[in-house]
Amino acid sequence: MAISNAEISNAVAEYLARYPGEAAPLAEPVQRLRQGGDFTSRHTFPMHVTVGALLVRSETEVLLIEHRAYGLLLQPGGHVEPTDTTLVEAAVRELSEETGLDAAAVFPADPAPAYVEYGRVPARPEKGEPDHYHLDIGFAFTTDRADVGQIQEAEVTGAAWYPLTDAERLVGHRIARAVSRPAHAG
């Protein structure tokens, strides 16, 4: 069964229960979710859901990719697919696709989202996409042995492990906060 709007809304609500100070920046997507629509389709505009995976290895490193289209260091992630049944499953699938990691070596650090971000995506006329917004719901994962495999060269130019202490500088405070939690998650 595909990911439901109820699952998306519940994930955002669970995140906001932990981080109520982020309610204002997420007010617009929360309102859109209440209005309904198929937010799992990449063809839903002006907003659709994407997922991200923050993978921490041995409590000291975080895995980041070099995103081909944006030229940025980011956590692995992407669009939800019709075959995904949960947001966590979608995040693991994206992680595995983009980095070649064995999904069996990755374990959820927490069932609740580690971050939720709402951001504008510039138009990509070559893909027939207007300006739109991603509601990116990310989850933290842990591993002790995962090595980068064959990257998804159509979307990623590289994938590497970075010291956890550099996470905030590399990917921002919300994500740095999220990757600092797995060592303490139960």
* Other C-beta atoms lying within 10 Å of the C-beta of residue 43: 10
The third-level CATH classification (topology) of the domain covering 5-184 is Nucleoside Triphosphate Pyrophosphohydrolase (3.90.79)
Q: Which two tokens stand for residue 164?
A: 């956890």
- The residue ranges of every structural domain in the chain are 5-184
State what percent of residues in the chain have pLDDT above 70.
94
Q: Is residue 75 within 8 Å of residue 45, measured between CB atoms?
A: no
Task: State the Cα–Cα distance between residues 112 and 127, nearest whole angstrom.
Answer: 32
User: What per-residue confidence (pLDDT) applies to 167?
Assistant: 77
pLDDT at residue 73 above 50? yes
Q: Provide mean pLDDT across the span 72-93.
A: 94
C-alpha–C-alpha distance, residues 169 and 157, integer Å: 20
Q: What is the mean pLDDT of residues 5-31?
A: 96
What integer is the mean pLDDT of 70-74? 79
Confidence of residue 184 (pLDDT cuts 50, 70, 90): very low
pTM over 0.85: yes
Nearest CA to 157 out of 106, 103, 99 is that of: 99
What per-residue confidence (pLDDT) applies to 147?
79
What DSSP character marks residue 182?
G
Average pLDDT over every residue of 147-154: 74
Tally of CB atoms within 10 A around 186: 4
Q: Identify the CA nearest to 117 among candidates 41, 45, 15, 38.
A: 15
More confident call, 173 vs 18: 18
Average pLDDT over residues 122-146: 91
pLDDT attached to residue 181: 59
CA-to-CA dists, residue 99 to 64, 103, 151, angstroms: 9, 10, 5
Contact 161, 63 (CB under 8 A): yes
| DSSP string computed for 77-130 | EEE--TT--SHHHHHHHHHHHHH---GGG-EES-SS-SEEEEEEE--BGGGTB-
Whether 129 has a pLDDT exceeding 60, the answer reads yes
Residue 34's CB: how many other CB atoms inside 10 A? Answer: 9
Tens of pLDDT, residue by residue over 96-109, are 999 989 999 999 99
